Structure 1
Amino acid sequence: MTDNAHHDAIRRNHLLEAAHEEMVKFERKENEFRKKDREERAAELQLPLNEINVH
């Protein structure tokens, strides 16, 4: 592997790591948003989120 190709591979790996970290942050925020939205809708409809017993 040439020096240039090696530097390109290192740079690409850093970019992939950065992109992965941003995706993880986004997914975490999205999950928090969905949880909050679900809780708000349940409160509006007066639905229990913890337990739903079906008999």
Structure 2
Amino acid sequence: MTEDAHHDASRRNQLRAAALEEMLKFERRESEFRKKDREERAADLHLPLDEIKVH
């Protein structure tokens, strides 16, 4: 592998890792948002969230 090709592959791997990290951060924030939204809606409707199995 030439030095340029190695550099390109290395850069691509760094970008891929950064994109994956950002995607995981987004998914965690989205999950927390959905959980909070679900809890707020349950409170508004006076639903016992503990007794309801939410997947």
Shift of 1:38: 0.1
Gaps of 5+ in 1: none
TM-score by length of structure 1 reads 0.91
Gaps of 5+ in 2: none
Instruction: Check if 1:49 corresponds to 2:53.
Output: no
Structure with larger Rg: 1
Question: Which deviations, in whole Å up to 9, do the C-alpha atoms of 1:7-52 show, x marking residues without a partner?
Answer: 0000000000000000000000000000000000000000011114
* Paired residue type of 2:29: K
* Residues 1-55 of structure 1: pairs in structure 2 closer than 5 A: 1-52=1-52
* Paired residue type of 1:48: P
Query: What percentage of aligned pairs have identical amino acids?
Result: 75
TM-score by length of structure 2 reads 0.91
In structure 2, how many angstroms separate the alpha carbons of the residues matched to 1:36 and 1:45? 14
SS of residue in 1 equivalent to 2:49:
coil
